[in-house]
């Protein structure tokens, strides 16, 4: 039987529901694919911090007990590509419940692409906002560019999961929506997915940023 050390994380102490949601995703993964959770480590720290106490305990257990590190989402381990790279170079195997068919190397590629895309979006958005400000446009909290940026970032964060689903032979919008719901992955609004939402999300990902 495959043995896992599970790790869940949120950035803020108020995000208790986020921890529960991650645990539910992990439980669904075990129900579907089998395996044993040896231990579960929980933490509420920023994903940009590499020196997290509970994560260090989880990684140490993986080394000593020869278990696989299991997380619900890739960014729960780290938002830093360098940290994912170090993990790959170590003797620890990583499994992401939302992307069950992705190996450790593929997860590294996903994290690198996501980081690069996020950086490009940030640069382009700042440039576009600077141009509008120079033109005398008053930019408020609800500025359309910021809304578009948020939608695009979310779409890009979901595409590795969408591509993973496509890789197992599910191509239609309706099929992808059903698979997302089966995996317990909620939409951005916290609801179940529909075919229309999947189509719109993929469309956002395909758009060229300003």
How many angstroms separate the CA atoms of 19 and 44, rounded? 9
Q: What is the pLDDT of residues 116-125, one digit of tens each?
A: 555 555 565 6
How many angstroms separate the CA atoms of 179 and 60, rounded? 33
Pinpoint the alpha helices (H) of the chain.
Answer: 16-33, 53-65, 81-89, 104-134, 144-167, 173-182, 195-206
The answer on pLDDT for 16 being more than 80 is: no
Name the pLDDT band for 69 (thresholds 50, 70, 90): very high
SS3 assignment, position 157: helix
Q: Decide: 5 and 69 in contact? Cβ < 8 Å.
A: yes
Query: Which of these ranges, 44-48, 108-112, 113-117, has the smallest mean pLDDT?
Result: 113-117
Q: Where are the domains of the chain?
A: 3-97, 105-206
Which has the higher per-residue pLDDT, 105 or 136?
105
Task: List the CATH code of the domain at 3-97.
Answer: 3.40.50.1390
The model carries a pTM of 0.57
């Amino acid at each position: 039987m495959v043995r896992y050390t599970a790790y869940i994380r949120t950035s803020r102490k108020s995000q208790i529901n986020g921890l529960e949601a991650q645990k539910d995703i992990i439980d669904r993964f075990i129900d579907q694919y089998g395996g044993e959770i040896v231990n579960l480590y929980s933490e509420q720290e920023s994903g940009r911090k590499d020196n997290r106490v509970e994560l260090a305990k989880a990684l140490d257990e993986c080394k000593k007990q020869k278990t696989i590190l299991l997380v619900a989402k890739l960014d729960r381990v780290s938002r830093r590509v360098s940290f994912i790279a170090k993990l790959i170079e170590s003797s620890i195997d990583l499994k992401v419940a939302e992307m069950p068919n992705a190996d450790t190397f593929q997860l590294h590629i996903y994290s690198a692409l996501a980081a690069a895309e996020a950086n490009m979006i940030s640069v382009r958005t700042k440039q576009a906002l600077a141009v509008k400000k120079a033109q005398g446009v008053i930019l408020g909290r609800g500025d359309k560019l910021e809304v578009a940026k948020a939608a695009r970032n979310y779409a890009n964060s979901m595409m590795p999961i969408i591509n993973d689903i496509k890789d197992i032979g599910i191509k239609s919008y309706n099929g992808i929506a059903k698979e997302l719901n089966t995996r317990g992955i909620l939409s951005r609004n916290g609801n179940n997915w529909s075919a229309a939402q999947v189509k719109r999300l993929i469309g956002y990902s395909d758009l060229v940023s300003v």
